[in-house]
Amino acid sequence: MHPSTLISRIESTAPPQLAASWDKCGVQIASAASEVKTLCVALDPSAETVRQAVDHEADFLLCHHPLSLSPRLPSRLDDFHEVLRLTLGTSLWLYSAHTSLDANPDGPVNWLGRALRMQDMRILEVTRRETPVVVRLTDPAVQEKVRDFGGNLARRDGHMEEYLLWPDESAAFKARLEPGSSFQEIALAAPIREYGFGCIGTLPVALAWDEFAAHLSALGLPLSRMVGQAPQSVIRVAYCPGSGAELGPAAFAGGADVYLTGDVKYHQAQAVQDLGLTIDVGHFCLEETMMRIWSEGLDRDLSPEGVRVVFLSGRNPFV
- Per residue in 36-74, pLDDT (tens digit) is 999 999 999 999 999 999 999 999 999 999 999 998 999
Q: Can you give the pTM of this predicted structure?
A: 0.93
Mean per-residue pLDDT, 153-165: 94
Average pLDDT, the chain: 96
Predicted pLDDT at 319: 76
What is the band of 180 on the pLDDT scale with cuts at 50, 70, 90? confident
Residues that constitute the known binding site: 64-65, 102, 283, 287
DSSP 48: H
C-alpha 114/C-alpha 290 separation (Å) is 12
Percent of the chain with pLDDT over 70: 100
- Nearest alpha carbon to residue 128 among 193, 179, 63: 193
Number of H helices, E strands in the chain: 11, 15
User: What was the pLDDT predicted at 1?
Assistant: 97
According to the model, what pLDDT value does residue 254 have?
A: 97
**Which residues are part of a known binding site for a divalent metal cation?**
64-65, 102, 283, 287
User: Within its chain, how far is the Cα of 267 from the centroid?
Assistant: 28
Measured CA to CA, the distance from residue 146 to residue 244 in angstroms comes to 42
Confidence of residue 111 (pLDDT cuts 50, 70, 90): very high
Share of the chain above pLDDT 90, in %: 96
pLDDT of residue 115: 98
